[in-house]
Structure 1
Amino acid sequence: MDAVQDEAAGKRARGLDRAFEILDFLRHKRQALKPNEIAAQIGAPRSSVYELVNLLLRNGILEFTGGEGRVYLGRKLYFLGAAYENHFDFTRECEATLEHLADETRETAQFCMLDGNKYTVVRMREGARPFRISTDIGQSVPIPWTASGRLLVAHLSDQEILNFIPPEDFRLPSSEWLEPQTFIAEVRHAEREGFFTFNSIVDSFTHCFAVPVRDDEGHIAGTLCLVTPRDDGLANRDRYLACLKKAAADLNQTPTRQKRA
């Protein structure tokens, strides 16, 4: 009897994992797809994907859109996200901080976090420059491609970093290979300095700044970033870093967080 129950529990767990895989896949694709297209692209049995898609449709997690049976993320996810934001103060508190940073520096300001073993921009405010620098909010990017990545994995040991980051993510957009040990050395440098800056690996025209934002227990929960035109970033490096560090310190000391702590 116990073996039967364990098997049933295992099937439910695998089904739940597959459902999250479907949701993550649609989020990354950013387009509505037919269930058979989803099954083919994630390498899953059509029957199980159809069953899970119907379950997610019934619960509003997915919705039909675009015709011909295509499905995409449903509106219930918006309400779940809103409930999460209401509980998780960081994202709401960051809105005012990013607005102030963008006004003060005239540069694009971002709040970034880890999404599994990838980096993502959670909130952003564009600067006042005619030259616009923008990033798709919620888009997953390999950690080694980012300034923030050097800070977001600093709590891990060297071996844990190698286990955490997929090996293929050390292949840069230029097709150059970033040696993992070079990346780890940069992580340790960022950890000691409390910030990281570099000429962007993704965009040859920009310079990136990142400082840590810590949770109530002192762990790095995210980063505040500035993305600037390369020449301006290098010319204003000290001032921009000072603005970022002050903003992160103020964010860590906001009244709602002090009350919660």
Structure 2
Amino acid sequence: MEQGIPPDAPHPRDLVAGLEKGLQVIEAFDQERSRLTIAEVAVRTGLTRAAARRYLITLTHLGYMRHENKLFSLTPAVLRLGQSYLHSARLPRIAQPLLYRLAYSLGEAASCGVLDDRELVCVAAVSAGRLVSTTLQPGTRVPAYCTANGRVLLAHLPTDEVEKYLASVEPERITAHTIVHRERLALEIARTREQGYALVDQELELGLRAIAVPLRNFRGEIVAALNVSVHEGRMPLEAMVERCLPAMVKIQAELSALL
């Protein structure tokens, strides 16, 4: 092992630096920064201005970017990258029919999500005819700390990883109910680990309540989380545990046998 290279990391000569930097350019755009200049992309990616310009021109040529009045923005073609995952990954394909059964048996929305760094990414969802939240759509990303699926997945990380997460995360008060103090978040994550499910009340959106359980593969590894979301006016918190959790546990067992 060469000095400075982690044992599980690939050797630098095996990496394609151009691909890595091109993806960094795409990731520089987000909801707050949907249109950027060359200089702004350079700052956000750490590239030189000349290099940022070449990557932006290349991405524009490939159809992933558009250019207008010195401002660059992503095109819908970027969605192909996410669709490739949703169409090819086993988890969404296996989860979707069971989510459908769970959602329609309860008459509430159900979804499945995975952890990607500090965010919870929805990979499958069924609304059961109820539009509870626009975040319950495949491909949407939300903070992990204020979601039921996110808390479940954080709770089952190794202890040192949870500590690193809590030390580095900067919780935003999205609603008046959002838990933003690290000490209280640590307690909620510990509670989730102990009881086996997470219950989150209007921390991501006003009116949105959710309950989640972990999903294990056949080796017993946590690979995703399953949740049911309801509008607070339809179901009190206590009823969510009593009514939703038993049905979720059944689907949890079925999915774990298939993953």
Shorter-chain TM-score: what band? 0.7 to 0.9
Across the two proteins, how many residue pairs are aligned to each other?
243
Identity among equivalent positions (%) equals: 21
2:194 aligned partner: 192
CA distance in 1, matches of 2:167, 2:21: 20
CA distance in 2, matches of 1:147, 1:37: 35
- In structure 2, relative to structure 1, the CA distance for the partners of 1:66 and 1:85 (3 Å cut) is same
1:4 aligned partner: none
SS across alignment from 2:98: helix
1:97 aligned partner: 98
2:23 aligned partner: 20
2:254 aligned partner: 250
Q: Residues 126-148 of structure 1, C-alpha deviation per residue, up to 9 Å, x if partnerless? A: 1334x643316433322211122
- In structure 2, relative to structure 1, the CA distance for the partners of 1:151 and 1:88 (3 Å cut) is same
CA distance in 2, matches of 1:98, 1:56: 36
Q: Residues 84-117 of structure 1, C-alpha deviation per residue, up to 9 Å, x if partnerless? A: 4455311111111221122111111111111222
1:64 aligned partner: 66
CA distance in 2, matches of 1:28, 1:77: 15
CA distance in 2, matches of 1:98, 1:86: 16
2:224 alignment partner, one of 214, 222, 246: 222
- Aligned CA-pair RMSD: 3.2
CA distance in 2, matches of 1:219, 1:206: 29
5+ residue gaps, structure 2? 1-11
- Residue type at the aligned position of 2:222: I
- Residue type at the aligned position of 1:249: A
5+ residue gaps, structure 1? 1-8
CA contact (8 A) 2:122 2:136 kept: yes
Structure 1 range deviating more: 199-208 or 85-94: 85-94
SS across alignment from 1:134: coil
What does 1:32-181 correspond to in 2, within 5 Å?
33-40=36-43, 42=45, 44-57=47-60, 60=62, 62-64=64-66, 70-72=72-74, 75=77, 78=80, 81=82, 83-85=84-86, 87-129=88-130, 132-135=132-135, 137=137, 138-165=139-166, 167-174=168-175, 178-181=180-183
TM-score, normalising length: structure 1: 0.76
- In structure 2, relative to structure 1, the CA distance for the partners of 1:141 and 1:84 (3 Å cut) is closer
- Residue type at the aligned position of 2:98: T
CA contact (8 A) 2:210 2:228 kept: yes
TM-score, normalising length: structure 2: 0.77
CA contact (8 A) 1:26 1:73 kept: no
